[in-house]
Amino acid sequence: MTPAGVTELDLLDIAPEARAAAAPAAAAAGADIDVIRRAADTCRACDLWERATQTVFGVGPVPARIMLVGEQPGDQEDRAGEPFVGPAGKMLDKALAEAGMSREQTFVTNVVKHFRWKPVPGTKRRLHERPSKVQVGACLPWVAAELEIVRPQALVLLGATAAAGLLGSDVRVTRDRGRPLPSNLAPHVFVTIHPSAILRAGEASSRADAFNGFRDDLAAVVRAITA
Ligand code: URA
């Protein structure tokens, strides 16, 4: 339950375990994005903070016409404290540019704000693990607060974790991608693949096909907000 009547000043006084739940009300009451970001820095709504380097909050203009939501920060994002700065981010930048939109015009975030990983025995590698439903649920209020402040024309969910987290488990990325979906989260809501799926697509020709499909989905978003 979101505590009612939470003001921007209250948010930083709320216990770290309860702060996420209070964030959407604080955003609705006028808290600015930096207040929400600072509150998220010490979030303890689930256990992921224990192994992560830091909270990785959304970045971009406020308001923004397009808000993109990925799964969770990866290894590089966890170290840098910014979403989509690694290989998946480079793929995203290229596809956005080809679709007629620059990253700087978009607000980019993740449905989970801490990196979930497990050690690879005998190495220093940190292996990505998909966040659980409980972890996604615990983090969702931060996305709700971002949406409240960013107020995008188009919300784009990248991959199955973000799509299921925000639209429910009936959504299927392969079936529903690239076309407007019914939702009151934003005037236009789209799902598409996660850009890391392109990197995993295997041979060069499969990667090119996956990239072209991703770019075309983003182009449909750009058309929807410029129509
Ligand atoms: N994958 C994501 O979903 N988000 C990031 O920020 C980086 C990789």
We report the CATH number of the domain holding residue 122 as: 3.40.470.10
What values do phi and psi take at 4, rounded to 5?
A: -80, 155
Any idea which residue has 């979906």 for tokens?
181
- Please tell me if the CB atom of residue 72 comes closer than 6 angstroms to any atom of ligand 1: yes
pLDDT one-digit tens code per residue, 87-118: 999 999 999 999 999 999 999 999 999 999 99
Q: Which pLDDT tens digit goes with each residue over 34-88?
A: 999 999 999 999 999 999 999 999 999 999 999 999 999 999 999 999 999 999 9
User: Looking at the domain assignment, is residue 84 inside a domain?
Assistant: yes
- Do residues 58 and 109 make contact, with C-beta atoms less than 8 angstroms apart? yes
Q: Is 175 helix (H, G, I), strand (E, B) or coil?
A: helix
pLDDT at 227: 80
CA proximity to 96, closest of 68, 61, 69, 64: 68
**The pLDDT of residue 1 is above 50:** no
Q: Whole-angstrom Cα distance, residue 180 to residue 187?
A: 9
Whether 101 and 92 have beta carbons less than 8 Å apart is answered as no
> Residue 176 is part of which domain span?
56-226
Report residue 73 as tokens.
């920060």
Q: Is the CB of 84 under 6 A from ligand 1?
A: yes
The response to whether residue 195 sits with its C-beta less than 6 Å from ligand 1 reads: no
**H helices then E strands: how many in the chain?**
10, 6
Q: How far is the CA of 9 from the centre of ligand 1 (A)?
A: 30
Q: How many domains does the chain have?
A: 1
Return the pLDDT at 78.
Answer: 98
Q: Answer whether residue 194 is part of any domain.
A: yes
Asked whether residue 186 is domain-assigned, the answer is: yes
Return the bridge partners of 126, or none: 119
Max CA distance (Å), the chain: 54
Query: Confidence band (pLDDT; 50, 70, 90) for 2?
Result: very low
171 lines ligand 1 (CB under 6 A): no
Mean pLDDT of 144-158: 98
Q: What is the pLDDT of residue 7?
A: 57
Q: Which pLDDT score, from 0 to 100, does residue 203 have?
A: 96
Residue type for position 190: F
Residue 8: pLDDT band with limits 50, 70, 90 = low
* 161 is a domain residue: yes
Give the pLDDT confidence of 156-202 residue by residue, as tens digits: 999 999 999 999 999 999 999 999 999 999 999 999 999 999 999 99
Instruction: Evaluate whether residue 95 is within a structural domain.
Output: yes
Identify whether 156 is part of a domain. Answer: yes
Question: Positive or negative, the Cα torsion across 77, 96, 163, 36?
Answer: positive
Pocket test for ligand 1, best of 69, 72, 117 (most atoms within 8 A of CB): 72
Cα(220) to centroid(ligand 1), Å: 22
H or E element: which one contains 212? helix 204-226
Does a structural domain hold residue 3? no
pLDDT, residue 98, reads 98
Tokens 């770019």 identify what position?
215
In-domain check, residue 122: yes
Q: Where are the alpha helices (DSSP H) in 29-169?
A: 33-41, 75-80, 87-99, 133-150, 160-167
pLDDT at 12: 85
